[in-house]
Amino acid sequence: MYFIAEIGVNHEANLKKALKCIKDAKDGGAQAVKLQCYKAEKLASKYAGAYWDKKEEKENSQLKLYQKFDKFNFSDYQKIINYCKKIKIDFIITPFDIDSINFFKNKVKYFKISSSDITNLPLIEKIAQTKKPVILSTGASNKVEIVRAHNILKKKVKKIILLHCILNYPTSKNNANLSMINDLKDINKIVGLSDHSIPKDSHKILIYSYLMGVRYIEKHFTINKKKGGNDHFHSFDKNDLKLFFQGIKEVKIILGMDKKKYLKSEIISRLNARRSIFYSNNLKKGSIIKKEDLIMLRPAIGENPFNYKKIIGKRLKSSKKNGDLLKLSDFK
């Protein structure tokens, strides 16, 4: 399992909070953290309205909201990268402009392309040119759009991870549509999940996705779920992450072995719940065994009933009573 803690802008342009988020993600068991890099003026016009839950984030202007959180400069990101290296957690970035791509191209394990940029050909082409592994989210997209972006990337990128995503903040259980994961497997070998559901729903959704073969999960992450704002309320915190990995551990135990064989715990069942061949009639010495002379009874302490046809036609060396256990030594 490769869990990406999507810090996004939950650091609120505060470096101390960003590092705390990263530490909590590491302590919770995440394999990677992801941040976003943009300048509001290069991302949204004054006409771009809200697509988030207005009860949680009252700001209606994308431009004004993003201006609150675009204060990090590249030197701040370098400090974050250095910290990730120090505590040994992968660093991933979603770049929203060409300058960001150029800065991060030799500093990240993956580039992440946001669902919102699946039609942004200049950005997709620039990321492809770096030949870095790419994670591509597919929220609010149709299959034609996904294939089109994927075709551009695969010309130069060797490893692509498609993430099933629903671009609702939050995503309800009714809209999770995990079965779409199977459709994405027609496009790309590796398919993961980017989840925006609230934590009380997320645990089931993420576990179900794991059972569908998902091994890459991205989930928003915060140090304070109760804080107001766009992303905190549908994020995991450290305790949620630990609970998720405990659930995965239990699921792995339940799934068990993938090759069928009987267990040590079933040996007593093989003995006492299976049958052997017994005699069903009183038979004299020299009798020729017929099918009606045999009965299959528990336990499995004698001949395997699967071999009963080999017994028919054999001649007894001595007399037998109804209920006696059949042995191969009974015959001439």
**Residue in 147, 139, 113, 116 with CA at minimum distance from that of residue 127:** 113
Q: Whose structure tokens read 């009380």?
A: 200
Banded pLDDT at 52 (limits 50, 70, 90): confident
CA distance 114 to 64: 20
Per the model's pLDDT, the better-predicted residue between 256 and 9 turns out to be 256
The mean-pLDDT minimum among 68-72, 117-121, 219-223 falls in 68-72
Burial string for 11-37 (b: 16+ CB within 10 Å, else e) reads beeeeebbbebbbbbbebbbbbbbbbb
State residue 29's pLDDT score: 98
> What six digits make up the tokens of 62?
């994308």
Query: Which whole-number Å values give the CA distances from 325 to 89, 218, 275, 292, 305, in the listed order?
Result: 65, 62, 11, 15, 12
Q: Where in the chain is the domain with CATH 3.90.1210.10?
A: 264-330
Q: Which amino acid is at 310?
A: K
pTM of the model: 0.89
CA distance 180 to 198: 20
Contacts of 101 (CB under 8 A, 6+ apart): 95, 111, 123, 126, 127, 130
State residue 226's pLDDT score: 86
Question: Exposed, middle or buried by CB within 10 Å (0-12, 13-18, 19+), for 200?
Answer: exposed
Contacts of 121 (CB under 8 A, 6+ apart): 152
Average pLDDT value for residue range 247-259: 97
268, pLDDT greater than 80: yes
Average pLDDT, the chain: 96
CA distance 66 to 102: 21
Average pLDDT value for residue range 284-311: 98
**Residue in 119, 71, 127 with CA at minimum distance from that of residue 97:** 127
The mean-pLDDT minimum among 52-66, 123-137, 283-297 falls in 52-66
Residues in a beta bridge with 87: none
Q: What is the DSSP string of 163-181?
A: EEE---BSPPGGG--TTHH
State residue 227's pLDDT score: 85
The mean-pLDDT minimum among 50-64, 212-226, 245-259, 309-323 falls in 50-64
67-109 pLDDT, tens per residue?
Answer: 988 999 999 999 999 999 999 999 999 999 999 999 999 999 9
Q: Where in the chain is the domain with CATH 3.20.20.70?
A: 2-255
264-330: in CATH 3.90.1210.10? yes
Burial string for 270-296 (b: 16+ CB within 10 Å, else e) reads eeeeebbbbbbeebeeebebeeebbbb
Per the model's pLDDT, the better-predicted residue between 254 and 62 turns out to be 254
230, pLDDT greater than 80: no
What architecture (CATH level 2) is domain 2-255?
Answer: Alpha-Beta Barrel (3.20)
State residue 6's pLDDT score: 97
24, pLDDT greater than 80: yes
CA trace torsion 140, 143, 147, 149 (10° rounding): -10
65, pLDDT greater than 90: no
Coil/strand/helix, residue 249: helix
Average pLDDT value for residue range 272-281: 98
State residue 282's pLDDT score: 98
120-172 pLDDT, tens per residue?
Answer: 999 999 999 999 999 999 999 999 999 999 999 999 999 999 999 999 999 99
Percent of the chain with pLDDT over 90: 89
> What six digits make up the tokens of 127?
């990321």
Phi-psi region of 8 (alpha: psi -120 to 50; beta: other; left: phi over 0): left
53, pLDDT greater than 90: no
